[in-house]
Amino acid sequence: MMNILERLENGLVIGDGGFVFSLEKRGYVKAGPWTPEATVEHPEAVRQLHREFLRAGSDVMQTFTFYASEDKLQNRGNEAAKNYGVRDINDAACKLAREVANEGNGLIAGGVCQTPTYLSGLGKIKVQEEFHKQTEVFKANGVDFMIAEYFEHVEEIEWAIEVLKEMNVPVAANMCINSDGDLHGVDAGECAVRMANAGADIVGVNCHFDPFVSLKTIETMKAALDVAGLTPYLMVQPLGYLTPDAEKQGFIDLPEFPFALEPRVCTRWEMQKFARSAWEIGVRYIGGCCGFEPYHIRAIAEELLEEHGRLPAGSEKHAPWGGDLTMHTKPWVRKRANREYWENLTPATGRPDSPGCSCPENWGVTAGSEELQQEF
């Protein structure tokens, strides 16, 4: 079986979507800490979501290890570390991802993300200790490659890449930034160059911003990488929400975060537009993050059928551009069975007084700020 870099060399790799928000809606993840003890408490729920992404066209099963560092599992009153432990949670995530990947031709990617230890200003040695606790488990489970994702500061992701490179597997690195750059003021282009120079084989962005904002950031990154003569593969895994009004800290600053984001959900047709644009920019690893559901992944697979080389199993019940609506009882619905209708539709929210955009709460706090200090 080809590894991730060989697959990218051959063409498109489709990632999976969001676990945290999907499982919170289903009652398996607690909003606030957002930690993944569901891998131990409710493995059937995690397994099923993996399967839905595989059926929708995902080539990669990413371990549900978001916020699974030990410091996060015990931060601000969270008892996940005490009840289960960092090793058990990460180990269960690896085994679930591998089980489902083996049902198809999938790879599994271990994942690490930003830490409360970094936000508390405790320094490189302490931060890397947190990453090492996870990578020991990933190494024991033989993950195919690693993803460092959801980092707001390029310094911390450089420290993460350094640890992940010790595993001798390919490394992808994603930051949750827009084209303005990281929260210490390092511009997006420089962030990309620093990730590549740190050893990342794949670089890009994930979470915090919508698909189209994220592609603007990718363009900024690509331009800087070209100038520097660096050629990592490009990756994008954005939100499944539209956030044109989000500022530097992304959707977490929007007043609708996290419980009233549904009116912002991207349609499957918007995802097809995103997928085509990403491919044309040169992105070869396309997936999603929070709010990104299996049908969004299916939209990517259907839009990029020729580039990907296969339709997913999930398309068996889904004709392109609503084609199956020709079988609908109502004649006006049958008339919607075409691409022109769906490409030109501007969906309503159903809320007459709903504004198109919001006013973000821009607190401006970042690593080292008192409000972000780790609490046990």
The range of the structural domain enclosing residue 163 comes to 4-318
**Whole-number Å distance between alpha carbons of 293 and 45:** 14
- Give pLDDT, residue 376: 56
**243-274 pLDDT tens trace:** 999 999 999 999 999 999 999 999 999 999 99
Q: Does residue 328 lie in a domain region?
A: yes
The answer to whether residues 41 and 173 belong to one domain is yes
Query: Minimal CA–CA distance to 105: which of 188, 6, 171, 252?
Result: 6
Q: Does residue 369 lie in a domain region?
A: no
Give me the CATH number covering residue 55.
Answer: 3.20.20.330
Q: Where are the alpha helices (DSSP H) in the chain?
A: 4-10, 20-25, 38-41, 43-56, 70-73, 80-83, 86-101, 116-119, 124-140, 154-165, 188-198, 211-228, 268-281, 294-303, 305-308, 331-334, 339-343
Q: Does residue 191 lie in a domain region?
A: yes
How many other CB atoms sit within 10 Å of the CB of residue 171? 26
Q: Does residue 371 lie in a domain region?
A: no
The answer to whether residues 333 and 216 belong to one domain is no
For the packed helices 43-56 and 86-101, what is the interaxial angle rounded to 10 degrees? Answer: 40
Pairing of β 202-206 and β 233-237: parallel
Q: Does residue 347 lie in a domain region?
A: yes
Query: Minimal CA–CA distance to 239: which of 228, 254, 224?
Result: 254
**Whole-number Å distance between alpha carbons of 240 and 248:** 18
Per the DSSP assignment, residues forming a β-bridge with 181 are 178
The answer to whether residues 270 and 130 belong to one domain is yes
The answer to whether residues 42 and 141 belong to one domain is yes
CA distances from 58 to 13, 293, 296, 359, 375 (A): 8, 11, 11, 35, 37
- Secondary structure (DSSP) of 39-91: HHH-HHHHHHHHHHHHHHT-SEEE-S-TT-SHHHHTGGG--HHHHT-HHHHHH
- Give pLDDT, residue 201: 98
The answer to whether residues 88 and 159 belong to one domain is yes
The answer to whether residues 235 and 194 belong to one domain is yes
**For residue 41, which phi and psi values (nearest 5 degrees)?**
-75, -40
- Give pLDDT, residue 368: 67
The answer to whether residues 191 and 326 belong to one domain is no
Class of residue 259 by CB neighbours under 10 A (exposed 0-12, middle 13-18, buried 19+) = exposed
Query: Minimal CA–CA distance to 268: which of 325, 320, 309, 306?
Result: 320
Q: Does residue 232 lie in a domain region?
A: yes
The answer to whether residues 302 and 326 belong to one domain is no
The answer to whether residues 331 and 266 belong to one domain is no
Low-confidence stretches of the chain (pLDDT < 50) are: none
Token pair in block for residue 233: 């593969």
- Give pLDDT, residue 217: 98
Q: Domain tally for the chain?
A: 2
State the SS3 of 120-132: CCCCHHHHHHHHH
- Give pLDDT, residue 1: 82
The answer to whether residues 183 and 89 belong to one domain is yes
Q: Does residue 79 lie in a domain region?
A: yes
Scored b (16 or more CB within 10 A) or e, 265-293 reads bbebbbbbbbbebbbeeebbbbbbbbbbb
The answer to whether residues 228 and 336 belong to one domain is no
Q: Does residue 374 lie in a domain region?
A: no
The answer to whether residues 273 and 349 belong to one domain is no
